[in-house]
Structure 1
Amino acid sequence: MAFPRWLTRIFACAALANQAVRGVTTTTAGGYKTIASRFSDNAIRVKSWSADDALLCDGGATHHTGWADIGGRHLFFWFHEARKNKHDAPLMIWLQGGPGGSSLHGMLYENGPCLSDGANGTDFNPYSWTEHFNIIYLDQPAGVGFSYVDKDADDASYPSRVEDSSLDAVAFVRLFHEAFPEFADNDLHLSGESYAGRYIPGIASAILEYNDFLASAPDPEAVASTIPLRSLMMGNPWISPAEQLSSMYDVSCFPYRDKYEPHLDPEDCVKALKVVDRCEAVARACAIGKSDPVLCAQPKTLCQDEFIGIFANVTRSYYDRRLRNCPGPQNCYPDIDQMAGFLSSDKVMREYLEVPTQTGGRKKRWDMSSSLIERRYFESGDFYTPSITDLKKVLDYSKKSSRSEHQRPVDVLVYVGTADIICNADGVLEGLRQISWDGRTSFRAAPWRDLPWTSSSGTRGGRAKATEGLWLVEIEDAGHMVC
């Protein structure tokens, strides 16, 4: 069986695995341990922190920081072990959106074990997902957060499409399993929000292809190295631009769900109406064109600048329509600045994480979002490329009647805060309806059922519908960062 050339990014050929065994562990200055891969020239650097070390992260469990060295790209990660039954708890990877967002935002502002205290430290989060999950907060694509590339002055060294960065993510998982073999058999769940709706299906598709290749390999060790992917969990995901862009007008210019007033003023709605149909048309051309980079780069000016720009230039949040009269456009979350100050402080950057030393001086501060990665993903057309093909692959994979012992169903959970506008509930639902998979009819026919709790306003907490393999949950009184 021919070895796919792209898999050389992930691991050396299984047929070569028993030759020069690498796997040498060394210790570098500052306490970072370097584990060289047994299967490739890649490596991973790890520094560990005890549960008692609350100065860096008051999270209540052991945690680890480091970089996965994948060729000339280096992905930063922050791994928090579960507070309970860590050896049996599932393993989760959390990805931020953007494109270009650092996953440390999710760790310190949303669902991590320690949350930014708005000053120069962190507070224990009793509601963290690490109560029941081992969670890796991964800065990807290379270039976001504390991740970096060797040739940082060369734009071409950075990823520009999900098809590229997905391979780095799979390589990261393999390196992580080598560094933490005690978690290699734990079920893996890919999670994230917003633009992670592009990242996650792409990574899942690459993992399935990787596993299928290994399952047919003659080497038993290679077969045993399959990645135990179990589910995708996507919050307010960006999955189908044509449907989601047009729905922004619908949910913003009219009363919404009998509880929200129009988000935009009438004059802004007039401006949006003049653009929305043309924006939808060029986004749909990208989808029909099978994600052709030239076609998919066309919506940038029309959709991003002229249409989404209308929503961005008002003092209310298109991430949470309940936030109004903000200090300025795109300034409805001022406490995020304090989080950035904490991560960029000398104490964290230099003393604890040793970022300048470990990155060779390439990272001098933490930025919540990389403008370079954002620009490259827009210019390549990735932003307007739907995730429908990859989601279909994952959903149909789970429907296969015959699977080996190494091929397991992969469930998909999509959850949406109904106060979000940019990735609103109506657009997400319509996007899911575009997936022509084996369960499409049953998903459409599935009834909505109320969630068994009430919201902060005393109304029903939301609703859900599901069929085998796919769940959709709408959560009331929640916005873009529902988790």
Structure 2
Amino acid sequence: MASSSSSSSSPAARCFTLTLFLLFTCSLAAPLRYQPSPSQLKLDSAKIAAKGQAERMIRSLNLFPKHEANVVFNDQSARDEPRISEKKISLNVSGGPVPSIQQFGHYAGYYSLPNTKGAKMFYFFFESRVNKTDAPVVIWLTGGPGCGSEVALFFENGPFKLNNDLSLEWNDYGWDMASNILFVDQPTGTGFSYTTDKNDLRSNEADISNDLYNFLQEFFKGHPKYANNDFYITGESYAGHYIPPLASRIFKGNKNNEGIHINMKGFAIGNGLTDPAIQYRAYPEFALAAKLISKSDHDSIVSELVPVCESDIADCNAHGGDPCLYGQDSCNSIFESILSIARDINYYDIRKQCEGSLCYDFSRMEQFLGDDNVKSALGVKDIDFVSCSSVVHNAMMGDWMVDYETGIPTLLENGIKVLIYAGEYDLICNWMGNSNWVNAMKWSGQQKFQGASTVPFMAGNTKSGELKSYGPLAFLKVYNAGHMVPMDQPKAALQMLQGWMQGKI
């Protein structure tokens, strides 16, 4: 899912909103003779901007979740029940290469997270359509932050596609054609994952990666026949923040002989946000090359906005705290400036235009997952589906500008394969920014990776991208794709996954 941090509103509109907020605040505080400090005003501005960004991101996908986050107060589930509760599911699926879904193991379940008041993580597990015994196990993480995994499941790389009439049909290029695949609703509060206490909502990657690591431990206990299979982490967008810490957590767990050894071989990030300083600096570069802005626009943004962004990111990574929130606001001003010039461009795919606030229409997913029969089949009882959570999005504000590239070199040095791929027409997490940070990353193979030749990436007989690789590191620019590569180029995405896991990329 998209890690949208953009705003289609003009700078004037933002100033007007901020002015109203300040007038309202000051009018209430006047009797107390309270004068907010400049740093407090800056922090309030960042919080207001973040809330607006979350709401715009959700509306741009034509999603209207019933709740801001899945926090429920009537959960009757006993805390002493099995840590993981799973059921085999059977949904009506038409077409495809097989006569019946009954031939496959499709599961939905809840995992009760330890060290929480009442958090439960929802997941889907689909056994491979090809060779479930030996196929790798892949976990997919959707971004946002705060969007459920079902966007990917039904519109990108899941085993079936959701049609306009709410029927399901087999996806010929689902990633279950190459793997046994998990789709997880996380962090807590997204999708069908929920908690009985808002204090369980996550705000940092340490907690998120521990939750996922603990889930995987319990999952492999429940499915021991897959525990020795190769394991890969995949995801897109804000998963560029989720994935490196999770890979590091698994590596640490394996090294320290914690619980079940997870046979992690690698991870892949699609159109991700991983190294903010380098990636935000690339926005004007990409926008100029794509002719979204003029050279004078580019130069103004680079001279006036980029230095403030870079300073805030440096402070964030050095000290944490409020500078991370300031950076979220100052850096997104770069993006917003580009959008104010490009107008109604779809920042997930610049080949397309947005109509008002609508850039994609995923609303049928909410309809489908809101159906009582579907919810009963999934075993979610009376939990409502929260497609994307603005509350979870806002809780992660302080995480946005943290650099997670720093943990990757250790993994590379220990033979963990890393694939960074990006659709060429995405603006929000564009290929230039991703290519720049991958090339700038310091590890023993850096110079040889930088000097490696770029070769065509072929999907069948079609040239579908440009590939550069050395040792365990690969970067792939995918042609004719935007932010969601498996949706735009499903055949190429499946071949990419297969080739990469087989060591051919």
Q: Report the TM-score range of the alignment, normalised by the length of the smaller protein.
A: 0.7 to 0.9
Q: TM (normalized to structure 2)?
A: 0.73
Per the alignment, residue 74 of structure 1 pairs with 120
Structure 2, unmatched stretches of 5+, are 1-76, 487-505
- Measured against aligned partners, the alpha-carbon deviations of 1:76-112 in whole angstroms (never above 9, x if no partner) come to 0011110011011100000001111211111001011
1:450-461 alignment runs, 5 A limit: 450-452=456-458, 460-461=463-464
- Measured against aligned partners, the alpha-carbon deviations of 1:419-440 in whole angstroms (never above 9, x if no partner) come to 1111111100111133222222
Q: Distance in 1 between matches of 2:172 and 2:470?
A: 32
Aligned-residue offset at 1:311: 5.0
1:101-112 alignment runs, 5 A limit: 101-112=147-158
1:267-286 alignment runs, 5 A limit: 272=301, 274-286=304-316
Aligned-residue offset at 1:166: 0.2
Match among 369, 386, 391 for residue 403 of structure 2: 386
- Measured against aligned partners, the alpha-carbon deviations of 1:323-373 in whole angstroms (never above 9, x if no partner) come to 12x2113x2212x11122211222323x3224244xxxxx32x23211111
- Measured against aligned partners, the alpha-carbon deviations of 1:183-219 in whole angstroms (never above 9, x if no partner) come to 111111000001111111110100111111117xxxx
Counterpart of 2:393, as a letter, is E
Percent identity, aligned pairs only? 30
Distance 1:391 1:42, change over 3 A: farther
Q: Distance in 1 between matches of 2:292 and 2:173?
A: 31
Per the alignment, residue 367 of structure 1 pairs with 386
Per the alignment, residue 32 of structure 2 pairs with none
Q: Distance in 2 between matches of 1:390 and 1:167?
A: 16
Counterpart of 1:355 in 2: which secondary structure? coil
Q: Distance in 1 between matches of 2:407 and 2:208?
A: 14
8 Å CA contact retained: 1:279, 1:299: yes
Distance 1:73 1:311, change over 3 A: farther
Counterpart of 2:189 in 1: which secondary structure? coil
Match among 452, 462, 467 for residue 465 of structure 2: 462
Per the alignment, residue 326 of structure 2 pairs with 298
Counterpart of 2:400 in 1: which secondary structure? helix
Per the alignment, residue 371 of structure 2 pairs with 345
Q: TM (normalized to structure 1)?
A: 0.77
Match among 282, 293, 307 for residue 334 of structure 2: 307
Match among 192, 196, 199 for residue 150 of structure 1: 196
Q: Distance in 1 between matches of 2:169 and 2:296?
A: 43
2:435 maps to 1:429? yes
Distance 1:130 1:454, change over 3 A: closer
Counterpart of 1:332, as a letter, is C
- Measured against aligned partners, the alpha-carbon deviations of 1:127-170 in whole angstroms (never above 9, x if no partner) come to 1111121000011111111111221xx3x321101111100000
Aligned-residue offset at 1:463: 0.9
Structure 1, unmatched stretches of 5+, are 1-32, 216-221, 257-261, 358-362, 399-409
Per the alignment, residue 14 of structure 1 pairs with none
1:184-203 alignment runs, 5 A limit: 184-203=227-246
Q: Distance in 2 between matches of 1:276 and 1:367?
A: 35
Per the alignment, residue 12 of structure 1 pairs with none
Aligned-residue offset at 1:53: 4.4
Counterpart of 2:233 in 1: which secondary structure? strand
Q: Distance in 2 between matches of 1:128 and 1:34?
A: 36
Per the alignment, residue 348 of structure 2 pairs with 319
Per the alignment, residue 83 of structure 2 pairs with 43
Match among 245, 258, 265 for residue 230 of structure 1: 265
8 Å CA contact retained: 2:87, 2:379: no
Q: Distance in 2 between matches of 1:436 and 1:118?
A: 47
Per the alignment, residue 65 of structure 1 pairs with 108
8 Å CA contact retained: 2:438, 2:475: no
Aligned-residue offset at 1:54: 2.9
Match among 133, 154, 160 for residue 87 of structure 1: 133
Counterpart of 2:418 in 1: which secondary structure? strand
Q: Which has the higher contact order (CA 8 A, sep 6+)?
A: 2
How many residues align structurally? Answer: 399
8 Å CA contact retained: 1:78, 1:137: yes
8 Å CA contact retained: 2:89, 2:377: no
Per the alignment, residue 172 of structure 2 pairs with 126
Moved more, 277-286 or 171-180: 277-286
8 Å CA contact retained: 1:242, 1:281: no
Q: Distance in 2 between matches of 1:277 and 1:108?
A: 40
Structure number with higher helix proportion: 2
Counterpart of 1:211 in 2: which secondary structure? helix
